[in-house]
Amino acid sequence: MSTPDLVADAVVKRFADHLAVDSLSFSVERGSFFSILGPSGCGKTTLLRMIAGFIAPDGGDIAIGGKSMRDVPPNRRPVNMVFQQLALFPMMSVGENVAFGLARRGTPKAERLRRSNAMLERVGLGNAADKRVDELSGGQRQRVAIARSLVLEPTLLLLDEPLGALDLKLREHMKIELKQLQASFGTTFVYITHDQSEALVLSDHVGVMSHGRFEQLGTPQDLYYRPQTPFVAGFVGANNRIVGRTTQTDGAIAEIATADGWSVRALKIGAIAAGSAVEVFVRPEVAILARSEAQLPPDQPRHAGEVQSVLFDGANSAVLLQEARTRREFRIALPQTGQFSDLKPQEKVVFSFDPSRAVCFAARSGTEGQDA
C-alpha cells in the first residue's frame, strides 16, 4: 500500500480557553474522498485551515504526501483549497483565475494558457476563458474554483463546504458532479461539511467530528448502519431517539424501559450496565408499519400507536406516530408500495422493529432522562 496522502498525528489547536481540535489522528488514502462531518463549531474548519497551512497546530504534526508540513507556509504546500465563498478573483477573467497558480510557479505563458484551457475544457467550461467571473452561474463558478486548484495538480484538494452557498437543486446536481470530478481526476479530496447527505453521498470515508474529536471514522455505510456513539446515531441520518433505563442486559440485545413505562429492545453498543441510563436509536426505515398485528413479522416485539401526521415527500415519505401508551413521537418511513397512501391522522396502527437493527448506548452525561 502506498503512503497515505494525508496523515494527522495528535494534532492539537487551542484558542484561548477553547480546545478547537483535541489531539486528532487520522490518515487519508491516496485517491480517496474523505469528508469531515460535524455541526458548526466542532472544529472542522480549524482542522482544514491547519491542513492548508493558514493556522499552525499547537501540537502534533500534519504530513502531506509523506512529508511533514511543520513550518511550511500555505503557498509552499502541495495542497489547494476550494473556499466556502469560492474566492474567485473578480479582477481577473476566468482563464486568468485558472492560470493564476501556474503563473506564480513561473510556468511560461504559452504552457500556462494551454494547461488552463485544457483544465477548463475538462470541467466543461471550454469557451468561458475570456468571461468575467460575475458572468458565470453559481455552478460554473464552482467548477472554475475547482479547476483553479486542480490545474496545479495538488496532492490534496481541500474543500470548505463549497456547496453551502448554492440553492437546493443546484446543490444536488453539484454533489454528483463533484463525485464524478474526483473519480476522473483521482486527486485525494478532503471535504468538510455539516450536511450529512453530502458526506454520505460523496465520501469513501467520513470522520464525524464533535468538540474537536472524531466520534467515529468509517465508511458512510458504517456510520449509518453501525454508529459507534450516540452522537453519530443522532447526527447521521434520521433516527428515533428513546431515552430509558435497561431492565435486562444479558446477551447482545438489551431490554429498555422508559420512565413512563414503554418497553423496547435494542442491540447493545459498548459496555452497558444493568439498570443504567441508555439512549436507544431506531431508524425510521427499520420500523415496520401495519394496520393489524397479523401483518407484522411474528418474531418482533409489537408496539401500538396512533397516526399524528403523514409527511408526504415522494420517496422520502414518512408517518409521525404517537406511541399508544406514552404518547411519544415515533417516525416510520412509508414503504413505496402505496399501501398506506390512504393513511389518516388519528388512525390506530401497529408497528415493530428488529431489535438487532436498533442500537442502544450508555447515555451521555447531561442527557440522562431528556428526550430528543
Partner 1 sequence: MDSRWHGRLALGLLLAPALLWLGALIILPHVDLAVLSFRERVGPRQYAASLTQYRTFFAEPLYWHVFLRTAVMSVIATLLTLLLAFPIAWIIAKLARGRAGSLLFIICLIPFWVSETVRTLGWMILLRESGVLPALLVKLGLTAMPVELLYRDATILVGLVYTSLLFMVVPLVSSLESLDNSLIEAAYDLGAGGFSILRSIVIPHAAPGITAGCIVVFMLTLGNYLTPTLLGGKNSQWFTEQIYTQFITRFNWEQGAAFGFLLLALSTALVILGLAVSGQRFGDVMRRT
The residues binding partner 1 (CB under 8 A) are 52-54, 73-76, 79-81, 83-85, 87-92, 100-101, 104-105, 148-149, 152
Which is nearest to 67 in space by CA: 9, 150, 25?
A: 9
C-alpha cell at 157: 484538494
What DSSP string describes 23-76? EEEEEE-TT-EEEEE--TTSSHHHHHHHHHTSS--SEEEEEETTEE-TT--GGG
Cell 500534519 belongs to: 62
Work out how close the CB of 61 gets to partner 1 at its nearest, in angstroms, rounded to a whole number.
20
Nearer to partner 1 among residue 130 and residue 260 (C-beta)? 130
Distances in whole angstroms, Cα of residue 288 to Cα of each of 76, 164, 181, 239, 259: 56, 35, 39, 14, 24
Nearer to partner 1 among residue 99 and residue 349 (C-beta)? 99
Q: Which residues pair with 278 in a beta bridge?
A: 244, 362
Nearer to partner 1 among residue 67 and residue 104 (C-beta)? 104
* Residues 134, 151, 160, 87, CA torsion sign: negative
Work out how close the CB of 72 gets to partner 1 at its nearest, in angstroms, rounded to a whole number.
12
Nearer to partner 1 among residue 96 and residue 329 (C-beta)? 96
Which is nearest to 151 in space by CA: 175, 177, 117, 125?
A: 117
Work out how close the CB of 234 gets to partner 1 at its nearest, in angstroms, rounded to a whole number.
32
Q: Tell me the C-alpha distance between 54 and 80, whole Å.
A: 12
Nearer to partner 1 among residue 117 and residue 149 (C-beta)? 149
Work out how close the CB of 291 gets to partner 1 at its nearest, in angstroms, rounded to a whole number.
56
Q: Tell me the C-alpha distance between 123 and 128, whole Å.
A: 11
Work out how close the CB of 87 gets to partner 1 at its nearest, in angstroms, rounded to a whole number.
4
Work out how close the CB of 365 gets to partner 1 at its nearest, in angstroms, rounded to a whole number.
36
Q: Tell me the C-alpha distance between 194 and 171, whole Å.
A: 14
Q: Tell me the C-alpha distance between 210 and 194, whole Å.
A: 11
Nearer to partner 1 among residue 86 and residue 256 (C-beta)? 86
Residue 216's SS3 state is strand
Nearer to partner 1 among residue 55 and residue 264 (C-beta)? 55
Work out how close the CB of 29 gets to partner 1 at its nearest, in angstroms, rounded to a whole number.
23
Alpha helices by DSSP H, listed for the chain, are 44-52, 94-104, 109-122, 138-150, 168-185, 196-202, 220-225, 230-235
Work out how close the CB of 96 gets to partner 1 at its nearest, in angstroms, rounded to a whole number.
9
Nearer to partner 1 among residue 67 and residue 173 (C-beta)? 67
